[in-house]
Amino acid sequence: MAEEDIRWIQRFSNFSKAMYHLENALQIPNPDIVQKAGIIQFFEMSFELAWNMVKDYLEEQGFVDIKSPRSALKKAFEMNILENGHDWMDLLQDRNLTAHTYDEQKATDMEQLISNKYFPLLKALRDSFNQKLHEQ
């Protein structure tokens, strides 16, 4: 199978692009509410692409029973693809709450969590899969 035909590699490319935008958005000093909303949106996109990339990778490894973000993250942790399993479960839970971030204080709190806790997790995943890509 050609490298570009491998689904997780295609998804990795899109994940990397979303992460690029998230990283740039997190560089904004003192973001206003609209910029915070953008950060949260880039975080949501990055996470959706991340868990689907993990699912695709696990499927290529022969695991076909992965149906949800939780099951993908749990299996990836079991397979030592992810570290900090509890932090990933926190990320999943907080990601599910981002759709309900209606006020500025909640947006500020989420932006801080993304910046200080969740972006480093996503970045470590990107770095790990970048290494897997170069091992192909």
Q: Flag whether 5 is in a domain.
A: no
CATH number of the domain residue 70 falls in? 1.20.120.330
Which among 43, 57, 42, 44 is positioned nearest to 12, based on CA atoms? 57
Which among 24, 41, 44 is positioned nearest to 33, based on CA atoms? 41
Number of compact structural domains in the chain: 1
Q: Flag whether 17 is in a domain.
A: no
Cα-to-chain-centroid distance, residue 3? 22
pLDDT in tens, 16-50: 999 999 999 999 999 998 999 999 999 999 999 99
Domain that holds residue 108: 32-135
Q: Flag whether 71 is in a domain.
A: yes
Distance of CA 69 to CAs 10, 50, 52, 79, Å? Answer: 18, 9, 8, 15
Q: Flag whether 10 is in a domain.
A: no
pTM score, whole prediction: 0.91
For residue 104, what pLDDT band results from cuts at 50, 70 and 90? confident
Which amino acid, 5? D
Let me know: does 4 contact 10? Beta carbons within 8 Å. Answer: yes
pLDDT in tens, 67-97: 999 999 999 999 999 999 999 999 999 898 7
Let me know: does 126 contact 16? Beta carbons within 8 Å. Answer: yes
